[in-house]
Structure 1
Amino acid sequence: MIDILGYICIGVGIAFWFWGTLPLIGNRSVLFKLHSLSVADTLGSMSIVFGLLLKIPKEWPLLILAIITLAIWNTVLGYVLAYCSSSGGDHD
Structure 2
Amino acid sequence: MINFFSYTCIFIGLIFWFWGTAHLVSDRSVLFKLHGLSVSDTLGSMLMIVGLLLKIPREWPLLLLGFICLAMWNTMLGYVLAYCSTPEDQND
Under TM normalisation by the shorter chain, which class is it?
over 0.9
**Correspondence 1:1-92 to 2 at 5 A:** 1-87=1-87, 88-89=89-90
Identity, % of aligned positions: 64
Separation in 2, partners of 1:58, 1:25: 40
- When residues 10 and 90 of structure 1 are mapped into structure 2, their CA distance, relative to the original with a 3 A threshold, is closer
Paired residue total: 91
RMSD of aligned alpha carbons = 1.1
Residue 34 of structure 1 aligns with an amino acid whose one-letter code is L
Residue 7 of structure 2 aligns with an amino acid whose one-letter code is Y
TM-score, normalised with respect to structure 1: 0.94
**Structure 1: which 5+ residue stretches go unaligned?**
none
**Structure 2: which 5+ residue stretches go unaligned?**
none
CA contact (8 A) 2:83 2:91 kept: no
Helix, strand or coil for the counterpart of 2:28? coil
Residue 68 of structure 1 aligns with an amino acid whose one-letter code is I
TM-score, normalised with respect to structure 2: 0.94
Separation in 2, partners of 1:71, 1:6: 20
- When residues 28 and 12 of structure 1 are mapped into structure 2, their CA distance, relative to the original with a 3 A threshold, is same
